[in-house]
Amino acid sequence: MSSLFEKHRSTLETALEVIRHRGFWSAYPEMPSARFYGEQAKEEGQQAFDALLNRDFILSGHPEQGRAGNEQSPYGVALDIRYPVASVETLVKQSQDAGKVWANTSLNVRMGICLEILERLNNMSFEIANAVMHTSGQAFPMAFQAGGPNAQDRALEALAYAWAEMSQIPSQTDWVKPQGKAGDLVLEKHWRIIPRGVSLLIGCQTFPTWNSYSAFFANLVTGNTVIAKPHPSAILPMALTVRVAREVLSEQGLPADVVLLAAEEDGMGMAKQLALHPDVALIDYTGSSAFGQWLRTQAATPLVYTEEAGVNSIVLGSTDNFDAMCQNIAFSLTLYSGQMCTTPQNLFVPRDGILVNGERKTFDEVTAGIASAVDALLVDPARAVMVTGAIANQATLERVATMRGAGRLIRDSAALPGMEQVRTATPLIQALDASDENVYGTECFGPVSFVIAVDDVEDGIRRAAQLARTKGAITAAIYEKDEARLAKAIDAFAQAGVNLSVNLAGGIFVNQSAAFSDFHGTGANPAGNCCFADSAFVANRFRVAMWRRPKSS
């Protein structure tokens, strides 16, 4: 059964190497190009997606006590897909039953299966991209990249970490203790990996695969079973993932129920019910801080890994390329309409402006520069929507409306013209003063950002770092050419437990986090208690049991 392992061994080995030096690598090409995926891939992916609409989603052998599903594409397509639903008791029971077999498979078998699942997911990246696009509202290019290969890379990264931790446990040894004249005391000792049991994976709407795959695969390879509970508005991408996983498991003669889908419609409350079940041993969650807090304190298991809300900042001090800075920031604000956990919300700008090649640009010149750069991105609506995507959730549109007027208007938000069926909103940018922390000190998820007047760069750094420490942050950025000032910023943001991007320009953005190189999140501030992925993310998902006896017995 370990032939799948041999088939994929070199992929694992490269991943193991790369997570140590953290240079660039990607196992799954992120370009939606025929060169990598074949001439027919795009067309076939579209057809495969279309064939899913307006019918029951087939999950062969999956427990089914009814059907549910009410996904609406933010692009105006009604998906009308109905997924099998089962009670919490049924899901947990069948997960546990499958776990008895899964727990006894070897690490190599589990790794081979996980890597095979990943390969098949990669091959259907176009289909997944359509599924991600029409649930999250991401534009197709991002849905492909983030929802497909980038998510698969994150999965592989988690598999590599899990492998590194598990493979360091020897399966046996002879323990030979010298006893002087009494001769040696010899014990044979045997170790085995014991999984935690049933894991629960609670997904989010905006990144249904990217934010779920690290845990999904880490749990599988460590021998746990997985109940995937996607967001009610973004079930399809994980349903497809579950289907592939179940197919590979079945082909290998293993119970498909190692992976189950907990589909639900809004208001069914499956996440809470599952989290309170005493046999759910592990929970991974991406979403609001309120429910994160509930899970961390009320779930039956203490093993809860979260990514929650945060308030990301950019501090502007100085630059030698004003236009490139403005364009870079503008893209970060506009990309997927600010619906990324990595989107900056607060731009801290000194009251008396910033230094550009030694000359001062006023506060208003800075805000105007950024607003113009956003406008430039959005000139052509057909191109613009490829950057903004659609608004995933009606509540985000309402938040934009509510926040309008919270500060001095710099750039208003509007729907993209000429595409009424798509739910869009361009960036709302408003100016605030440092004293308005009651406004900018909370996450306003979506295309809402603030340019905040501060005393000076140091004041901006202090406020941004303090927000990261107290409210959480996944990203931070600074534009600053002075190395001494930069060094202080680096210290401040590190102490606040947030990763910092410096002087970004060109084709790299603060929103982006690369598998194998950038740890996503730190687990060191309220935006989450873990990161994707490191040793701590995987090492407690399994335990080790030993038996030992005198060698001669």
Q: Which of residues 45-74 bind a second copy (CB under 8 A)?
A: none
Of 317 and 523, the one with the shorter C-beta distance to a second copy is: 523
Q: Which of 215, 20, 249, 270 is nearest to 117 (CA)?
A: 249
* Ordered DSSP codes for 342-387: T---EEEEETT-EEETTEEEPHHHHHHHHHHHHHHHTSSHHHHHHH
> Any contact of residue 199 with a second copy (CB under 8 A)?
no
> Any contact of residue 553 with a second copy (CB under 8 A)?
yes
> Any contact of residue 181 with a second copy (CB under 8 A)?
no
Task: Count Cβ neighbours within 10 Å for each residue of 299-329 and write b for 16 or more, e otherwise.
Answer: bebeebbbbbbbbbbbbbbbbeebebbbbbb
Pairing of strands 448-454, 346-350: parallel
Residues belonging to the chain = 553
Of 173 and 357, the one with the shorter C-beta distance to a second copy is: 173
> Residues 244, 252, 41, 339: is their CA dihedral positive or negative?
positive
Minimum Å distance from CB 168 to a second copy? Answer: 6
Residue of 10, 39, 60, 170 interacting with a second copy (CB under 8 A): 170
Taking residues 295 to 334 in sequence order and writing x for each that binds a second copy by CB under 8 A, - otherwise, the string is -x-----x--------------------------------
> Any contact of residue 533 with a second copy (CB under 8 A)?
no
Residue of 500, 515, 527, 533 interacting with a second copy (CB under 8 A): 500
> Any contact of residue 497 with a second copy (CB under 8 A)?
yes
Minimum Å distance from CB 173 to a second copy? Answer: 5
Residue of 2, 46, 87, 517 interacting with a second copy (CB under 8 A): 517
> Any contact of residue 289 with a second copy (CB under 8 A)?
no
> Any contact of residue 514 with a second copy (CB under 8 A)?
yes
SS (H, E, C) 45-100: HHHHHHCCCCEECCCCCCCCCEEECCCECCCCCECCEEEEECCHHHHHHHHHHHHH
CA distance 542 to 97: 18
Cα–Cα distance list, 543 to 54, 103, 109, 223, 502 (Å): 44, 12, 18, 10, 40
- Give residue 440's identity as a one-letter amino acid code: Y
Minimum Å distance from CB 107 to a second copy? Answer: 15
> Any contact of residue 92 with a second copy (CB under 8 A)?
no
Residue of 102, 207, 519, 532 interacting with a second copy (CB under 8 A): 519
* Cis amide bond preceding 533, omega within 30: yes
Minimum Å distance from CB 25 to a second copy? Answer: 9
CA distance 479 to 158: 32
- Count of residues that bind a second copy according to CB under 8 A: 66
Minimum Å distance from CB 198 to a second copy? Answer: 14
Of 450 and 519, the one with the shorter C-beta distance to a second copy is: 519
**505's tokens:** 């320009």
Interacting residues toward a second copy by CB under 8 A: 20-24, 103, 165, 168, 170, 173-179, 182, 185, 187, 189-192, 194, 196, 296, 302, 490, 493-495, 497-508, 514, 517-519, 522-524, 529, 531, 534-536, 539-540, 543-550, 553
